[in-house]
Amino acid sequence: MTHPKAFNIDPQCIIGGDFPLIIAGPCVVESMELVLETAWALKEITNRLGLPFVFKSSYDKANRTSHRSFRSIGFEPALKILARVREEVNIPVLTDVHETSQVMAVMEVADIIQIPAFLCRQTDLIQTVARSGRVVNIKKGQFMAPEDMKFAVEKVTDTGNQRVFLTERGSSFGYHNLVVDMRSLVIMRQFAPVVFDLTHSVQMPGGMNGRSGGQREFAPYLARAAAAVGVDGFFMETHPNPEKALSDGPNMVPLSEISALLESLLEIWKISRSYWESASLSPVA
């Protein structure tokens, strides 16, 4: 069942349509070799399954727990790698921004510009991204009620840019832990298409002597629950060898497991959509 606010990311890629959008890639741009290897592998998998695909990787991790943690190979080198992925692999690209001053450069290489969860209330940043004309993905802050994300969406649409979606990545549950309230997927889907971030939802922020931990073994379970509830896409970070990843390794899904995971999610997602259609209902409240 198409979302009433569905839109195209590019001519071949739609969010809110008849198939779930897959947003996937390594947490951060580590090297040209890693990024291209992952992008080509993910494109092959999603093409085989008939799923729209957007490649994701960050050019900078500006919100690491410790300033001693790896952040970036450099602003310009990382953007050049993302531009090469977009051109060579011929897929849309998503990356996030943390400062308004970076938006002009990022919009040259990204089809979707992401507002990080910690910055989802930053009006100037959201509206600068919206005015770029690129698709805007706003991650729900760990501290935000889902109904309040309506106002984040309005910050985008009031600029005239209607291409915006929301991503759920869990809510703070005490210290160093997150929990996912599946009601948020239904609530936020009233305002825009909704994507479920299955890897950051199992992150354990901080708590590891200046680093964040994670429980990647639970990511498939939460993802299957979100597929059953009804979402418009899935966001997942992946790496050929998460144990050696420079950022967020503990919560990333190994690249070798992505194909089987997507097959199971697609099967559940189709059943969920069939239910809504047969019941003449909509998962949008």
What 3-state class would DSSP assign to 236?
strand
What pLDDT is stored for residue 280 in this prediction?
Answer: 59
pTM for this entry? 0.95
Alpha-carbon distance of 256 to 106, in angstroms, equals 30
- The conformation of residue 252, written as its DSSP 8-state character, comes to P
Provide the CB-side half-sphere exposure for 215 (13 A, CA): 10
In the chain (285 residues long), the average pLDDT of successive 10-residue segments reads: 91 95 96 97 98 97 77 93 98 98 98 97 98 98 97 98 97 90 96 96 77 83 96 97 86 96 97 80 57
Please provide the CATH number assigned to the domain covering 7-278. 3.20.20.70
List the one residue out of 66, 61, 62 whose CA is nearest residue 210.
66
Domain parsing of the chain, residue ranges: 7-278
